[in-house]
Amino acid sequence: MTVIAPPATIAFLGLGMMGRPMASRLAAAGFSLRVFDVSQKAVSDFVGSHPSAIATASAKAAAQGADALITMLPDGKVVRQAVIDGPDAARHGLGAGALVIDMSSSNPVDTQLLARDVAAVGAALLDAPVSGGVRRAVDGSLSIMVGGSAADLERARPVLAAMGKTVTLCGPTGAGHALKALNNYLSAAGLVAMCEALVVGEAFGLDPGTMVDVFNSSTGKSNATEVKGRQFVVSRTFAAGFTTGLMAKDLRTAGEVATHLGLKVPGLAQAVAYWADARERLGPGADHTEIFRYAEMLADAES
């Protein structure tokens, strides 16, 4: 087993809000980067800030000569197009023994199929979605949930350690993506609960900042109250760096996993519907902390 450590070559696909800082962490760690994004500006901006990185014209070109290929793309369908199905897909450039690491939020059932197709071209797949948002992508402290073999994780550990503080093997292929979707269900549910509590409290005459402080010293404390309460909701800056559209997608994925397993989970189903409607009302590009505005809309509609 050859560990993928600097200065190994990494192909990185997707230089968006999360992908760019994650790729920057790899460059800072000493990895050689070959980057591609459908936005030529995103590629030129990244290479302008990281002159050692090589700009490429396609996923196929990025994959050529790479020890590992990382995808940080909107969803599993885009990942599949970039890695397997597209005319210039990465599979046409991957060498035997390469490791594909899908760090996007993808459907775990689709991930299992992708792993088989990646294996057919002589490569291996890890699903390794992240949690922590843009701030933790910038400082390299992301939580990374991994699905796949323990041996492949050990090969990739230096790569993942450059981007995350916590790297956890969650189970076989698809386990990382499943756990990410379920984690975001908990995150979304906690955020909605906080926002609805704030709406009711403000209507009663309570100060929202005081409410958050009390939540954080009481049993209502959560990631939402600690990280998003005063910072993005009470301040109404709504700039946490993760969109309503992406949260709705992750919840839909969690719901699809439950359906695939034949499970009835009413709370999850309600959350899927709640965020799907919020996406339509707020717009997919709205920050997910703007769910507070959606909670206000619903409360006004009931008055």
Sign of the Cα torsion 229, 176, 155, 4 reads negative
Q: Which tokens hold the place of 32? A: 């050689």
Per the CB < 8 A criterion, the answer to whether 57 and 92 are in contact is no
Per the CB < 8 A criterion, the answer to whether 137 and 103 are in contact is no
Among 41, 60, 165, 180, the one annotated catalytic: 180
Q: What is the DSSP letter of 275?
A: H
Residue 130 backbone class (left: φ over 0; alpha: ψ -120 to 50; beta: rest): beta
Sort strands 54-55 and 32-36 into parallel, antiparallel or unpaired.
parallel
What's at 108, amino acid-wise?
P
Per the CB < 8 A criterion, the answer to whether 82 and 109 are in contact is no
Active-site residue, 180 included? yes
Q: Which tokens hold the place of 47? A: 């290479």
Task: Map residue 142 onto helix, strand or coil.
Answer: strand
Q: Residue 40: which H helix or E strand, with range?
A: helix 40-49
DSSP code string of 98-130: -EEEE-S---HHHHHHHHHHHHHTT-EEEE--E
Sort strands 54-55 and 124-127 into parallel, antiparallel or unpaired.
unpaired
Q: Residue 212: which H helix or E strand, with range?
A: helix 208-216
Catalytic residues: 180
